[in-house]
Amino acid sequence: MLLTLDLNDPRPLHEQVAGAIRRAIADGSYTPGDRLPPARDLADALGINANTVLRALRELRDEGLLEFRRGRGVSVLSRPDARAVLVEAARELLAEADRYGYGPEEVIHIIRELS
């Protein structure tokens, strides 16, 4: 699993990690039944604290995407619904646009120009 974090992103790191894992599941990189790498390995790869990764994993477990099994690690239970994936992507787009000084209405205008 190749996850990346944007250190300039104002969102908390655990939200960024959860979003990256959510996208990996949504795009098929991980399918139901697949096991995720241990939290410590993910944390080392991302250069963050293991507790931050665990917080993201717990969030995804609470959403019904992951299952924790003692001795077996963390497995993917289901794929997120398409709307949830789009909502997450829209949040990230709006946050990025805000960093560049664009408001929601301007983003909507740009999207309309594309279609």
pLDDT digits (tens, 9 = 90+) for 34-71: 999 999 999 999 999 999 999 999 999 998 899 999 88
CATH number at residue 26: 1.10.10.10
Q: Does residue 101 share a domain with residue 60?
A: no
Domain, as residue range, for 27: 9-79
Other CB atoms within a 10 A radius of the CB of residue 28 amount to 8
> 68: part of which helix (H) or strand (E)?
strand 66-69
Q: Does residue 66 share a domain with residue 15?
A: yes
Tell me whether residue 107 is in a domain: yes
The domain total for the chain is: 2
Tell me whether residue 3 is in a domain: no
Q: Does residue 87 share a domain with residue 58?
A: no
| pLDDT tens-digit series, residues 9-41 | 888 999 999 989 988 888 888 899 999 999 999
Cα 23 to Cα 16: distance, rounded to the nearest angstrom: 11
Q: Does residue 94 share a domain with residue 48?
A: no
| pLDDT tens-digit series, residues 87-97 | 888 988 999 89
Q: Does residue 62 share a domain with residue 14?
A: yes
Q: Does residue 75 share a domain with residue 31?
A: yes
**Parallel, antiparallel, or unpaired: how do β-strands 73-76 and 66-69 relate?**
antiparallel
Q: Does residue 42 share a domain with residue 14?
A: yes
81 or 107, which is more confident?
Answer: 107
Is residue 1 over pLDDT 80? no
Q: Does residue 72 share a domain with residue 36?
A: yes
Is residue 112 over pLDDT 90? yes
Tell me whether residue 20 is in a domain: yes
